[in-house]
Amino acid sequence: MNQNTNNSKELFKTMFSSAGKLTLFISISIVLLLGIRALTAPAIAEAERESLIQTFSEVLPEKNYNNDPLHDTIIIKDKHYLELLGSAKPVTIYRAFKNEEPAGAILTAIAPNGYSGNITLLVGVLPDGRISGVRVLNHRETPGLGDKIEIAKTNWVLEFDGRKLRDNNEPRWAVKKDGGDFDQFTGATITPRAVIDAVKNALIVINDLGAHLYE
């Protein structure tokens, strides 16, 4: 009986000792991970900033402005605008100025009706309403077909450069198959349609904001 009791005590001691060591190990690991995250967070944030600036320059040339658009922004919360931009969350519009004069605006727009889901775009717009550039930030379109929206694959996205929207129902803002001006992809018409609609909607938002955008 005593032997069994002693064995039980030893077993409990071993279990509690192991549990304590495991808890200590987990605690130390968490502290180390948090420490590493705290140390690397500034570097990661700076890398993301540099990446965003680089993408900005692709849709609005840096020579066009001399402010820092990353720190000169307005936040869009209007439900109608967010619906047009395909976002359920507030959207940031980055404003560019040259010697305090409006030089352009940059915003993201999401095409929710891509062939394989959302297509996220970055759109640059000049003060006169002309598009200065469009780039695809994220998509899951079919390789070899829908991925032709990427600038690395084809120049199709450059068809937006210099275009403006004179009327919200302008028929030219469609693929040629639908009577518009834009080329479609063989076997992948859904993708360019989605991108065209998203860019058009971004222009509708910018045009609607008008001069208030730069106030």
Domain span holding position 130: 61-214
66 shares a domain with 38: no
Q: Answer whether 127's CB lies under 8 Å from 211's CB.
A: no
Of residues 12 and 92, more confidently modeled = 92
Q: What is the pLDDT averaged over residues 51-77?
A: 91
179 shares a domain with 73: yes
Question: Of the candidates 13, 43, 59, which is a domain's last residue?
Answer: 59
Q: What is the pLDDT averaged over residues 45-65?
A: 82
Indicate the number of domains in the chain.
2
pLDDT at 49: 64
pLDDT at 198: 98
80 shares a domain with 65: yes
pLDDT at 189 over 90: yes
The CA–CA distances, whole Å, from 201 to 77, 82, 85, 142, 186 equal 15, 10, 6, 24, 24
196 shares a domain with 148: yes
Would you state the structure tokens that stand for residue 157, as one six-digit string? 């996205």
54 shares a domain with 84: no
50 shares a domain with 74: no
162 shares a domain with 210: yes
